[in-house]
Structure 1
Amino acid sequence: MIKMNILPAAMLAAFAAGMPLGAMAAPDLKVALIAGKTGVLEAYAKETETGFMMGLEYLTGGKMEINGRKLKVIVKDDQSKPDMGRTLLAEAYGDDKVDIAVGTTSSGSAIAMLPVAAEYKKVLIVEPAVADAITGDKWNRYVFRTARSSMQDALAAAATLKNGSVAFLAQDYAFGKDAIKAGKEALAATGSKAKVVHEEYAPQTATDFTASAQRIFAALKDKPQPRVLGIVWAGPNPMNKIADMKPERYGIALAPGGNILPVMKTWRAYAGTEGTIYYYYDFPKNKMNDWLVAEHKKRYKAPPDMFTAGGFAAASAVVTALTKSGGGSDTEKLIATMEGMEFDTPKGKMSFRKQDHQAMQSMYHFRIKKTQGDEWDLLELVREIPASELPVPVRNKR
């Protein structure tokens, strides 16, 4: 009996066309980008997508290919809803057969997605969600994060405050609570002698901060100087409304966390106010950031924003990992490649810490400029805070 080998249809078609077998096109590399493109975090999601696509363009020289294989990006909108994020990621891994996924905007949705990565045994790069739990108690070995964490934000802010009294204003949901918890821990971790005297949580969609401000002022006004109100807020920031209530009459200074450019543009009246930020287009000095700033201004008539840089960083992690691992189909090769992997970003080099896959990265201490040349000329650099000065704890119990 003669044993016959049945050739796949694709091979038969190639032979029929007279095509050498080695010349057959390799399958596409597929990447899913999940973002909250509708809802309260829409602006962040759109910036992330822009940065991600520009990053892929730059890193592949415009070819959108890695190791000779075409790169296909599938974008999905989870509307910042955890159940939808979970469903879309399962769809991306199961139906779309993506090699790697990136997402998402909301921390709540990102946390819901983590078990899906473990179930399908596929890599998920978290960008831009910041909740510490993502690389902490909710983490699994398939999860990597290019986004900064709440603790990295908090440690950067704590590095600027050595003593005095601190109150916090944040949104009353996972992001805000996580950020304030990290803020208190960061003060201790950096050796600051500043004392936290009040925590104020307002609804995520709050527009009236009168009662909150009165409670904050009452808690701070008689405490040791300097008296600082740290504001941690996603979306339209309450800084202007708080500032209009004249906290300076109680010797209280505002310390906003960095935000997107359209929000920070409204802070012009508060020259000299200091804070910390993940990225501001004029701070990093490197070839990649130079290209991003110039090209973004050319295409969008404005400089890139902090979430644009984050999307670009995620693209760099994807391209570096897929290039060095030799392809995307073997998850174990990807994980082995990515643990400890360094990759270039518009902020400079990042590296995935082996223990919890958090990207270690620098942050920036800024001051709002007194003299501003144009509508986006907002901040001056006080100091780049290197990753070595940000002792992010490992909390995933690996």
Structure 2
Amino acid sequence: MKLFRTLFVLVMAASLVLAACTPPATPTPEPTKVPEPTAVPPTKVPEPTAEPTAAPAAVRLTCAQPVKVGLITDVSGTLAIYGAHILRSFMLGMEYMAGAPGSAGETFDFKVTQENTFKVEDCEIQVFVRDDASNPENTATIARELIDVQKVNLLVGTVSSGATATLQGIAFESKIPLIVAPAAANDITGVNFNEYTFRVSRNNYQDAINECLYLAKKYKTFVQIAPDYAFGRGSAAAFRDACTLQGGTFVADDIFAPLDTKDFTPYMEQIANSGAEAYIVSWAGGGFVPLMQAAKDQGVTETMALGATFIDNTLMPIWYGNAIGSTNGIIYHYSAPKNPINDFLVKNTKPRYGVNPDLFDADGMNAAIMLVEALKLTGGDVSGAALVKAMEGMTFEGPKGTIYIRPEDHVAIQDMYILKLLNVTDPEANFYEYVETTRPEPPCLLPENLKARCGSLPYGSLSGK
């Protein structure tokens, strides 16, 4: 069996060798098939390469005729200290928008000239400056001169809230838009509202909200004192509303003292005995100095926190020397906002005017920026109807950041600040330590016949009740 297997393997191996050595039969070749010519498609002419589409150029501001602006402020009256803020900062705002100083040069001097012309892109803007000395009769006279003689297209002003009320009426009659700076009375965009009045300044309610947003976080019980006239009572009502809404409680009736009070001792005794953690002061005028002295004499400054908005750099050392360490609200201080527009304002104010920007400098610059931005929105159309439409609901950037003009009542929603007072002696008026930024939303205060304009805004008070 073993032999058989061996033979079988040998036979198979031999067969394989023979098969490998035998030449294969030559196959009959098939006729060569000539390939048909390949159809070549016609050459496609390449389409010309499209040039990259450039972004459309921004439309430049163009005005068929020079735009005329009337700036009314206090140069010689009782509020001239604040008029100076507006005058210099408005001109710096126009320069910022134009990219160059106006015809009056880098420093505007009212004694030298009352006109300043700027070129913003392809639009000439002429500014006519007038001094109303915070007297409503003066305001009326110069407003009519600006409208009837100079033919101004817009008005800006003024410092006094009473004078501003007069200006509002004249602007409305003439259908000339008015940008209010820096007057703060609630009534400007409240009971005195008209469609041609806009503001870049805050109102008194925003002061109260700003203050109470901070105060109510630290203190729960309050008492307040205010002067016994419309401003004081309105301010007290706003503070009571704002602080109560934030969870605070007023432990005593509001205290009202005559505006010409010299001795505040009996009023400070009431505050000291109230049991409140903090006392709120709403005061305008020289009475603040004896008020604070009485607070110190009665031990109020040592046992209770002070709630009163900080004021301008000039008067801070006089009025707040006894309040070092207090933390309160302020409309604006040059050290608080951090943005390029405020940087421009700070950089250019001191070298030209000898002081740092002050309490209302942001308002003046915002007024200039707002009017130029409105002109851009209208394409240079200076008609009252076009400007009103552009300004309602507009937003723009200023030294305090984004400003929003509320369309319902033309209130300017804006940043405000909480600062801690460190000193009142710094030569650069760098008095504060930054605490926080707030953005108060006041209620709609329009008269009853215009209540429908308020829409969903709280009406009359923050609670809407």
TM-score bracket, normalised by the shorter chain, equals: 0.7 to 0.9
The alignment partner of 2:315 has SS state of: helix
Distance of 2:317 and 2:299 partners within structure 1: 20
Q: TM-score of the superposition, structure 1-length normalised? A: 0.85
Say whether the 8 Å CA contact 1:111–1:138 is kept in structure 2. yes
Q: Which amino acid aligns with 1:230?
A: V
Which piece of structure 1 moves more, 372-381 or 344-353? 372-381
Listed as ranges, the matches of 1:295-334 within 5 Å are: 295-334=348-387
Which piece of structure 1 moves more, 141-150 or 303-312? 303-312
Residue in structure 2 matched with residue 228 of structure 1 by the alignment: 279
Which piece of structure 1 moves more, 128-137 or 262-271? 262-271
Q: TM-score of the superposition, structure 2-length normalised? A: 0.73
Residue in structure 1 matched with residue 4 of structure 2 by the alignment: none
Change (3 A) 1:65 1:323: farther
Residue in structure 2 matched with residue 261 of structure 1 by the alignment: 313
> Which of 292, 297, 303 is matched with 1:251 structurally?
303
Say whether the 8 Å CA contact 1:368–1:380 is kept in structure 2. yes
> Which of 183, 187, 190 is matched with 1:133 structurally?
187
Residue in structure 1 matched with residue 92 of structure 2 by the alignment: 54
The alignment partner of 1:261 has SS state of: coil
Q: CA deviation at 1:199?
A: 2.6
Listed as ranges, the matches of 1:124-203 within 5 Å are: 124-162=178-216, 163-170=220-227, 172-195=228-251, 197-203=253-259
Say whether the 8 Å CA contact 1:265–1:376 is kept in structure 2. no
List per-residue Cα deviations over 1:32-57 (Å, max 9, x = no partner): 11112222211001111111111111
Q: CA deviation at 1:250?
A: 7.5
Listed as ranges, the matches of 1:83-102 within 5 Å are: 83-102=137-156
Distance of 1:376 and 1:219 partners within structure 2: 34
Relative contact order higher in (CA < 8 Å, ≥ 6 apart): 1
Q: Which amino acid aligns with 2:304?
A: I
Residue in structure 2 matched with residue 79 of structure 1 by the alignment: 133
Say whether the 8 Å CA contact 2:413–2:441 is kept in structure 1. no
Q: CA deviation at 1:232?
A: 2.8
List per-residue Cα deviations over 1:167-199 (Å, max 9, x = no partner): 1233x5544343223222322343433445333
Say whether the 8 Å CA contact 1:164–1:195 is kept in structure 2. yes
Q: CA deviation at 1:161?
A: 2.4
Question: Which structure has the larger Rg over C-alpha atoms?
Answer: 2
Residue in structure 2 matched with residue 104 of structure 1 by the alignment: 158
> Which of 74, 80, 91 is matched with 1:42 structurally?
80
Query: Number of residue pairs matched?
Result: 366
The alignment partner of 1:72 has SS state of: strand
Change (3 A) 1:328 1:246: farther
Say whether the 8 Å CA contact 1:198–1:219 is kept in structure 2. no
Residue in structure 2 matched with residue 218 of structure 1 by the alignment: 269
Change (3 A) 1:246 1:346: farther
> Which of 235, 258, 262 is matched with 1:209 structurally?
262
Change (3 A) 1:287 1:366: same
The sequence identity of aligned pairs, in percent, is 31
Change (3 A) 1:43 1:242: farther
Distance of 1:318 and 1:270 partners within structure 2: 39
List per-residue Cα deviations over 1:326-367 (Å, max 9, x = no partner): 125211111111111011111111010000111101111111
Q: CA deviation at 1:83?
A: 2.3
Which piece of structure 1 moves more, 112-121 or 236-245? 236-245
The alignment partner of 1:159 has SS state of: helix
Q: Which amino acid aligns with 1:93?
A: I
> Which of 1, 22, 30 is matched with 2:68 structurally?
30
Q: Which amino acid aligns with 1:126?
A: V
Say whether the 8 Å CA contact 1:220–1:252 is kept in structure 2. no
Say whether the 8 Å CA contact 2:326–2:420 is kept in structure 1. yes
Unaligned runs of 5+ in 2: 1-61, 102-117, 454-465
Q: CA deviation at 1:237?
A: 4.4
The alignment partner of 2:173 has SS state of: helix
RMSD over aligned CA atoms reads 2.4
Say whether the 8 Å CA contact 2:272–2:300 is kept in structure 1. no
Q: Which amino acid aligns with 2:224?
A: A
Distance of 1:364 and 1:235 partners within structure 2: 24
Distance of 2:360 and 2:424 partners within structure 1: 25
Which piece of structure 1 moves more, 323-332 or 194-203? 194-203
Unaligned runs of 5+ in 1: 1-23
Distance of 2:437 and 2:63 partners within structure 1: 46
Q: CA deviation at 1:100?
A: 0.6
The alignment partner of 1:306 has SS state of: coil
Q: CA deviation at 1:77?
A: 1.3
Does 1:392 find its partner at 2:442?
yes
Q: Which amino acid aligns with 1:77?
A: D
Change (3 A) 1:94 1:347: same
Change (3 A) 1:368 1:250: closer
The alignment partner of 2:155 has SS state of: strand
Change (3 A) 1:133 1:373: closer
Distance of 1:250 and 1:219 partners within structure 2: 15
The alignment partner of 1:161 has SS state of: helix
The alignment partner of 1:93 has SS state of: helix
Does 1:272 find its partner at 2:328?
no
Distance of 2:286 and 2:93 partners within structure 1: 24
